[in-house]
Amino acid sequence: MTIAVFHESYRPLLEARLPAHIEPRWFSSRDELYALAPQAEIGWFDGLTLPDMWGSAHVAKKIRWLNTNGAGVENFPLAQLRELGAVMTNGAGLTGPAIAEFVVLGVLNFAKGFADIVRAHDRREWLTSTPPADELTGSRALVLGAGGIGAETGKRLAALGVEVTYLRRNPGPGDLGPDGWRARLGEFDWVVVTVPATAETNGMIGAAELAAMKSSAVILNVSRGAVIDQDALVDALREKRIRGAFLDVTSPEPLPADHPLWGFDNCLITMHLSGRSTTPRAPVAAERFLENLARFERGEPLLNQVDLAAGY
């Protein structure tokens, strides 16, 4: 028998479809999860708080396969999983459409001056002259990272007439690679950050990169706050060296109420909400898990398998 540990909410989607040799054990509380995790050979620990999920993974010393719905895996014990010879799969693509739509919201907000319109509405003021309103057709976007979120974002921006260029580790025709993108930053109106959080991407947007951007450019971050040097961003926004920033992520989170980013009219903070959706994802996640379970038992590569050395 193979012991597999799941949150109780997945029982209706999984229990009747698990092979006979899989022994499911269900948790609904933190204490139950921490009691079951050390027994798990297969673990899907989503369902409680993020710290509970990350912490329980540290005590799963028998784990052979760890699954999560999230795309970012930087808080999991990746080195420990490598030492155990385990594999890990993530939820890349599950939240891609929702996050990509949020990026489009951010782009349209700045293109149409929508935040100024909302502020006027809150003041009950009828504007007699509209804020500057740009059309997206013909503008250019650089999407840093071409994974599930980046690809979905680029597809939607392209449909609105935006010329999209991707930064990829292994660039194809028309893409930019790790060595060439910084010299091209001044060509883009929208810089969209969707890279995974790794030691390599930490602080990849700093003072030099912000200085290289157009003064009319907007940076949009749906990755992790640490990817952007936040102090450098504060300076750039305060001095209006770039047009603005749309930040779904910050460092730290929650962002303290007295942080200067809250006070800039050219910065919109959306509190790490971009992946939220009322569209049910659990059935899709369960189907993906069951497909991967069949692959796992056949010794085949898993869908959305994490490179534990690279961290994504």
Active-site residues, by number, are: 224, 253, 272
Q: What angle do CA 6, 7, 10 make, to 5 degrees?
A: 85
Q: How far apart are CA 170 and CA 283, in angstroms?
A: 33
Quick one: CA torsion of 151, 193, 69, 79, rounded to 10 degrees? 120
- Cα-flanking dihedrals φ and ψ of residue 7, to 5°? -75, 145
Q: Give which of 173, 141, 168, 134 is closest to 157, Cα–Cα.
A: 141
Q: How far apart are CA 49 and CA 30, in angstroms?
A: 9
Phi-psi label, residue 74: left if phi above 0, alpha if psi -120 to 50, beta otherwise: alpha
**3-state secondary structure at position 227:** helix
Q: How far apart are CA 191 and CA 193, in angstroms?
A: 7
- HSE toward the beta carbon, residue 156, CA cutoff 13 A: 19
Core vs surface per residue 77-105: b (16+ CB within 10 A) or e:
bbebbeeeebbbbbbbbbbbbbbbebbbe
CB atoms within 10 A of CB 142: 24
| C-alpha to C-alpha distances, 194 to 66, 152, 248, 290, nearest whole angstrom | 23, 11, 11, 28
CB atoms within 10 A of CB 219: 28
Residues 6+ apart with CB under 8 A from 129: none
